[in-house]
A and B are shown apart, each in its own frame.
Chain A
Amino acid sequence: DTAVSQTPKYLVTQMGNDKSIKCEQNLGHDTMYWYKQDSKKFLKIMFSYNNKELIINETVPNRFSPKSPDKAHLNLHINSLELGDSAVYFCASSPRTGPAGELFFGEGSRLTVL
């Protein structure tokens, strides 16, 4: 059973389109994250949710809208896609409510904007 699963794994789309990435964790963790990894492999936090509540929104354009219907799911919707949005998006979860500590990552969703 995959602990943190994301769909889709690959996404190729045109500029200006809207797309969503879904994430689910079966670890019973309270905290979930979205990280973006650029072409230089730099992982940067985008959002953090704790038990469905937004905790961190790290200067991400408001074209990106996360949604957490329950504590096991965290989805990411992106409007009006731009070339610079091309990256690998990782979902992660953490067993801790306070410190980030050890993160459990999904396998990533590679987004390519043409």
Chain B
Amino acid sequence: EDKVVQSPLSLVVHEGDTVTLNCSYEVTNFRSLLWYKQEKKAPTFLFMLTSSGIEKKSGRLSSILDKKELFSILNITATQTGDSAIYLCAVDKQGAQKLVFGQGTRLTINP
């Protein structure tokens, strides 16, 4: 059965800290891995990763995929209170036309 596991489930840090969120997966016919941020309502897209070792960056957020070890990390530097959210990792499978989601990491940034 396909599995996407995120860790930690919950993380509380102070503003300015750097955090690393983890996502490991066991799926057949992997195509890509995606990261989403969910604040109060709709998850919003952050990154899509298809190739190993190539970092994707957007401002203070960056992410990288390791297809050999089957995991991805999402880094956030100089965290701000607005980064507080649930971060969701999902895997897209070849021929499946659906995303398999992990259970999310709830990140809380305290001022």
Contact = CB atoms under 8 A, between A and B. Distances in A.
Interface of A: 4, 31, 33, 40-45, 48, 50, 55-56, 58, 90, 98-108
Contacts of A100: 92, 96-99
A31 B106 CA distance: 29
Interface in B58-111: 86, 88, 90, 92, 94-101, 103-104, 106
A44 B41 contact: no
Q: Which 8 A-B pairs have the closest CB atoms?
A: A105-B42, A107-B41, A43-B101, A45-B98, A41-B104, A100-B99, A107-B42, A100-B92
Contacts, number: 61
B44 to A, nearest CB: 7
B48 interface: yes
Nearest to B98: A45
Given A31-B97, A43-B101, A99 B34 contact: no
B32 interface: yes
Nearest to A47: B98
Given A41-B86, A43-B101, A58-B98, A99 B32 contact: yes
A102 B34 contact: yes
A105 B44 contact: yes
